[in-house]
Chain A
């Protein structure tokens, strides 16, 4: 059974930093891309970042580019999100998700989906 357990959330002041972790189990972690998706209180889902299985390729939403860094340690089956220069608008529940993204054979269309989700960790940016 796939399990994803986020940790590291909490209260931080504007301009501060926080590192989120996501411990994965139940699948071959290094074989799968992973991602972070966030949800502000009472709002919808927002794609934040994704990383390939090897960690060699990373992708970011414009809203976090240059401030957040996604990484992974395949020896520890753990995904990370380093968040710097935090703003009030970064307040949200942050979910890690097992991510599938690929071009279908013979197609230029990209297929992306979040196959399994963790329970989320709340990040509150406030003074």
Chain B
């Protein structure tokens, strides 16, 4: 059971837009910054978004992040077949067992 809750799967057609939600609590998302990662099949994760909504160099602006209260959202526009991957949200949890936490991951299928 992951600390952060993500939908197991989402799907959309090429060219469309999709959003992936990440729900937490006041000890994690509510009071800390969120990051997002893309994991293509058989590869290591890759940073997509940090500090809630910033993109590292080389990440296209089709990818965006936002946060409101204890939830965060990853948005992907202009979907491409190459976007098929698992997506994870992550943040710091400031509870007694302080440490990094991740969502369970969301499998994106581009139909």
Contacts and interface: CB of A to CB of B under 8 A. Distances in A.
A and B interact physically: yes
Interface of A: 35, 37, 44-47, 50, 59-62, 95, 100-101, 104, 108-120
Interface string B24-39: 0000000111010100
A46 to B, nearest CB: 7
Contact of B99 (A45, A60, A119): A60
A117 B99 contact: no
Interface stretch (B15-23, B46-54, B69-77): B46-54
Interface residues on B, range: 20 to 34
Contacts of B102: 44-47
B45 interface: yes
B39 to A, nearest CB: 8
Nearest to B50: A113
B68 interface: no
B54 to A, nearest CB: 9
B44 A45 contact: no
A44 B90 contact: no
Contact of B50 (A95, A108, A111): A111
Q: Which of A47, A62, A104, A120 has the most CB of B within 10 A?
A: A47
B92 A95 contact: no
Given A115-B56, A117-B46, A118-B44, A44 B104 contact: yes
A65 to B, nearest CB: 9
Interface string B69-101: 000000000000000000010111010011111
A84 to B, nearest CB: 19
Given A45-B45, A109-B31, A110-B92, 6 more contacts: A59-B99, A110-B32, A112-B33, A112-B91, A117-B46, A120-B44
Nearest to A96: B44
Given A112-B92, A117-B44, A120-B44, A44 B103 contact: yes
